[in-house]
Each structure stands twice: as structure tokens, then as C-alpha cells.
Amino acid sequence: MIEIQYWWFAVLPLFFGLGWLAARVDIKHVIAQSKSLPAAYFKGLNHLLSGETHKAIEVYVDIAKNHQETIELQFTLGHLFRRRGELERAIRMHQKLLARRDLNVAQKEQAQLDLAVDFIKSGLFDRAENLLHELSGTNAARQARIELLAIYQQEHEWQKAIEIAQQLRDESHTYQHEIAQFKCEQAAAALVRNQVDLARGFLDDALNSHRQCVRARLMQGEILFAEDKYKEAVEQWLLIESQDVYYLALVARNILNAYEKLGQISEGIALLMRYLQRYPELDVLDLIYEQLIATQGIEVAHQFVRDRLRESPSMSGLRKLLEAHLLVAPDDQKPEIEMIGKLLHDNTREHSMYYCRECGFKTRQFFWHCPGCNGWETYAPIRGKRRQSAQ
């Protein structure tokens, strides 16, 4: 049992009194701060919370005219102008901020960073780049490098992007896969100039930076294929299985083309069928079906999709089965099959799209670099919205 010390009864009221006094001081401070703000400030805040940005801007502009000393308000206005796409007004506001002599160091750095972002949004990359380089060695240096990285990617300055990404490396983000993609971009540019050996060097660097870089492996195979080294090309592409097996769907047609060049198309088809058997979600059903029709006839292709649907039911398999049925069905049954196929297609459009797992941007074409969020390797190589987080 806890022994009660009677002197506690004398001390407890003192503690309560001190707590009450501290609370009173805090409340008075908050009230004083609130009274120092113009009433219109809260009106503008209410507009912001209601999503009425244009009305908020009008209110804050009026406040700024009568309260020129309000630095925070000018920052707010600059952000609102940029958000609304009024970039010239955002630039003027941040330039006005930078011209003030009463800014502390942190505020000056923030105003310079904000002005650089305005320039980036306006496509004035040179002016933005100069401002961002001036922030080197400051507390805003890391954010400035992130903005520089965005500039160099937009301008396809891949070597500069690599250098900045290397400076940004830390335990939370190594930038390995981005650097590997930048190396692949350099390789692609070298191939356009017919500098094959230089491209090979870039691709080797990409794999050294990120061993799981499927794109580098894919491009190495393409170089070998262009040199008529079909067997070696296939060997490169099949290594993708150890990186991420579902990316084999991106090279499946290339693999079949190589086998066709070798006079072994049947072996190529059989290889893809084995992969599909082993990895049911591998997106090669359409390609195998197409090749079976071309090489072995409609009946074989029809039986193939029937077996696949029975072993691994899927919407893509059902659509392909209906397509196969349409080819072998009697004429009097074709209208009904066509109608069912159309309804199925219209209600499963999303299953034929690639989805960015970061921003949800959808497209029929696979991208290494998302057009929506500018992320790298954010598309899963499997079509269909429900699979966008497959990796």
C-alpha cells in the first residue's frame, strides 16, 4: 500500500496554480495574436478552406495593400498565384519579397527557392538554374537540388541529372533506379547517333548502378538483335526473368522475332507458353494466340485459350476466348457472340490499360517515365487497374 506523505497536500495546490497561470498566459497570447490580425484574414482563410482560391486571393491582395510589413502574407500570395497558374504575378510577388531588407536568412532562402520554382513553371530554366545554384551550401540546398534534378530531366541533360542525383543520395533514397534510367537515356541518345560502343558503356553503367534495371537488359538485347546476334539477344532478354519476370511481356515479341530469324518460331512459342504456365499473370496471352493462329491454325489457337481460361480464369482470357469462338462459330451464332464481346470490351476497358502506381495516370502504351507524375519505373508491366500495385 502506498504511504501518503501529508506534505503533498501543501504542494499540490501550488502545481495546479502554476498550470492555471501558464494556461492563462498562453490564452492571452493567442487572443493578442488574433486581435493583431485583420478580420479579413480569417475571411480569406475561410475561402481557402472552401476551395475558393480566387476569392481568397482577392481578400489577401486587399490585406497586403494595407499591411505591407506582412512577410508571411506575401509568401502566401505568391503560392496562391502559382497554384492558379498566374505565374507572372507569382514571380513579381517573390521578386518583391527578395528585394526586402528585413528578411532573415531563412526567409530570403525560401523566397529565392520559390522564385526559382516560378521560373521552372514558366519554362525559364536558365534563370531558375542560376537561382538554385546560388542556394548551394545553404539550408535550402537539398530542396534546390531536387528542383535542379527536375530541370535537367525536362531538358534531357542526363549527365547533369546523374551528378545531382548522386549528391542527393542518402539512406532514405539512394536514387539508384533513377540514375540507371538516366544512363539508359544516354544510351538511347548514343544509339540515335550510331555510337553503339558508347551506348553499351552506358548500359553497363546502368546495371552497375541498379542490377534490377530491366530497361538496360532489354536495350542490350536490342543492340545484339540489330547486329544479327539473335541467340545472344534472346539470352539477354531471358535474364529479365531473374530481375522481374513480368517484364518479359515487354520483350516477348522481340523474343519471337529472334526465334523466327533463327528458323525456330515453334520453339519460341513453346517457350512463351511455358512461361505463361509458370506465371499465369504474365501478359503474353494475346501474343501467343496471334502466333498460334498464324503458325498452327484457328483450331489450335481456340483450344489453347480454352485451356488457359480453364486453368487460370481472367477477363483477358475470357475476351480472347470469345474472339476465338467468333472465328470458329457458325454464321448464325456470330451476331450473339459479337454482341457479348462488345459488352465485355466496353465494361472492361481498364483491363487493357497500363496504370502508374504513383499517380494513376493510364495509357495504352507502356512508359518508363510517367507523363503524369514524372516518376521513373512507376508502371507495372501488367495491364489492368487492379494490378497497378503488383510490384
Whether the Cβ atoms of residue 60 and residue 77 lie closer than 8 Å to each other: yes
State which amino acid sits at residue 355.
Y
What is the reported pLDDT for 340? 61
Cell of 197: 560502343
Cα torsion angle, 97, 142, 377, 128, sign: positive
Encode the chain (391 residues) as per-residue pLDDT tens digits.
444 454 444 444 544 444 444 444 443 433 344 444 455 554 444 544 455 555 555 555 555 544 545 788 788 788 888 888 889 989 998 998 888 888 899 999 999 999 999 999 999 999 999 999 999 999 999 999 999 999 999 999 999 999 999 999 987 889 999 999 999 999 999 999 999 999 999 999 999 999 999 999 999 999 999 999 999 999 999 999 999 999 999 999 999 999 999 999 999 999 999 999 999 888 888 889 889 888 998 888 888 888 887 887 766 666 666 666 566 666 666 676 667 666 666 555 666 788 888 888 888 888 888 888 888 888 888 876 444 443 3
Whether the Cβ atoms of residue 158 and residue 152 lie closer than 8 Å to each other: yes
What is the reported pLDDT for 25? 40
Domain residue ranges of the chain, discontinuous segments joined by +? 176-263, 284-347, 350-391
Report the alpha-carbon angle 94-99-100, nearest 5: 100
What is the reported pLDDT for 341? 62
What is the reported pLDDT for 307? 85
What is the reported pLDDT for 73? 76
Cell of 281: 499473370
Give the N- to C-terminal CA distance of the chain in Å, as an integer. Answer: 58
Cell of 282: 504474365
Mean pLDDT over the full length of the chain: 80
Would you say 370 is a known binding-site residue? yes
In the 8-state DSSP scheme, what is residue 352? G
- Please name the residue that has the C-alpha cell 467468333: 326
Give the separation between CA 64 and CA 45, rounded to whole angstroms: 14
What is the reported pLDDT for 83? 86
- Based on its alpha-carbon atoms, the radius of gyration of the chain, rounded to whole angstroms, reads 31
Whether the Cβ atoms of residue 322 and residue 344 lie closer than 8 Å to each other: yes
Whether the Cβ atoms of residue 117 and residue 128 lie closer than 8 Å to each other: yes
Cα separations (Å) of 104 from 90, 101, 107? 20, 8, 5
For 176-263, CATH gives: 1.25.40.10
Strands 354-355 and 362-363: antiparallel
Q: How far is CA 111 from the centre of its chain?
A: 27
Would you say 184 is a known binding-site residue? no
Query: What number of residues does the chain have?
Result: 391
Would you say 359 is a known binding-site residue? yes
Query: What DSSP string describes 228-275?
Result: T-HHHHHHHHHTHHHHHGGGHHHHHHHHHHHHHHTT-HHHHHHHHHHH
What is the reported pLDDT for 281? 86
What is the reported pLDDT for 347? 58
Whether the Cβ atoms of residue 125 and residue 154 lie closer than 8 Å to each other: yes
In the 8-state DSSP scheme, what is residue 369? B
What is the reported pLDDT for 6? 47
What is the reported pLDDT for 47? 45
Cα separations (Å) of 238 from 139, 245, 291, 376? 47, 9, 19, 23
The candidate with the shortest Cα–Cα distance to 253, out of 263, 235, 239, 265, is 265
Would you say 213 is a known binding-site residue? no
Within 8 A by CB and 6+ apart from 40, the residues are 59, 62, 63
The string of pLDDT tens digits covering residues 287-339 is 898 898 889 988 888 888 888 878 877 666 666 666 665 666 666 666 766 67
Report the alpha-carbon angle 148-378-224, nearest 5: 95
The pTM of the full predicted model, rounded to 2 decimals, is 0.74
